[in-house]
Amino acid sequence: MNTFMTLQSYGSKSAKANLAVQKRIQSIENSISTTKEDSFIYKLNHNCNSEIQVDNDALTLIQFGKDISEKTDGALNIALYPVIKAWGFTTGEYRIPETAELSSLISCTNYKQIQINNDIVSLAPNMEIDLGALGKGSAGDEALKILKEYGIKSALLDLGGNIQALGTKTDGNKWTIGIKSPWGDGNAVAGVKIDNQAVVTSGGYERFFTGEDGKNYIHIFDGKTGMPVENDIASVTIIAHSGLYADALSTSLFVMGLEKAVDFWKKNQDFEMIIITKDKKLYFTASLKEDLIVKYNFLETNMID
């Protein structure tokens, strides 16, 4: 998944459990990678119009990704891969595509055209999918399942910044997870105490390039325009029991912007969130009140309820 993983687990079988987790995550990667030629996603993306039989990992994620794409009205769009490629985020050979190129690519990113029939998936011509916005969250959930099978009751997984906790720390206290400064200074601007939850952040500071025009272009895209997202949000952190849900929503709510993200929370209320805006304000959902530690001197700290 192009990132580092750190796993701390406590219990007599933790060494064996950690190895099993590593294997499981590798197998998910082999199934959903966009670049490994044997993966199901690679086969789907390179066999225009054909029906591909996929394994359970790919199937679950494609179905979930399609559902969240619908639920967020395309803020998340797992079919945006042609746009992401055009900007060079898949190879590191960054470029700024012309508007005409983007419009033509957008016409092949309609996630409603992903057909799923039992374990057979097919895409419309020129469509390509990418599960990068939710794969790490799902891998975290699977990792925790394995740790539980090994009788582990306390563990903390950091999968490229996606944090997932199993139980509490061994002393019974909650884990404290730092929320990174979105201004690239390496500090934690806040902390949140959790047990048995995932904490997933999406932010423009994570991956971007600076164009010849001096502007920064980030790795999260608005599917309506094909342009990197530019709104009032610096980072969105989602706290939820499912890592998959938290990962999918962190990306989705980042794309939506503050107002729509708050509306989405009000409508669903099955997750908690911390939003940091570019104008240095912090927003958090009310249930986090006791568990949030604010370290940075934000211009405003607002509770959402």
Q: Does 130 interact with Mg ion (rule: CB under 5 A)?
A: no
**Contact of residue 180 among Mg ion, ligand AMP, none (CB under 5-8 Å per partner type):** none
Q: Which of 17, 25, 84, 256 binds ligand AMP (CB under 6 A)?
A: 84
Stretch that binds Mg ion, among 125-133, 150-158, 221-229, 274-282 (CB under 5 A): 125-133
As beta bridge partners, residue 194 has: 175
Q: Which of 57, 141, 247, 291 binds Mg ion (CB under 5 A)?
A: 247
Q: Does 128 interact with ligand AMP (rule: CB under 6 A)?
A: no
Q: Does 78 interact with ligand AMP (rule: CB under 6 A)?
A: yes
Q: Does 141 interact with Mg ion (rule: CB under 5 A)?
A: no
Q: Which of 133, 139, 146, 253 binds ligand AMP (CB under 6 A)?
A: 133
The mark string for 7-46 relative to ligand AMP (x by CB under 6 A, - otherwise) is ----------------------------------------
The smaller minimum CB distance to ligand AMP, of residues 140 and 223, is found at 223
- Residue ranges in contact with Mg ion by CB under 5 A: 133, 247, 250-251
- Residue ranges in contact with ligand AMP by CB under 6 A: 76-78, 80, 84, 130, 132-133, 202, 219-221, 223, 247, 250-251, 255
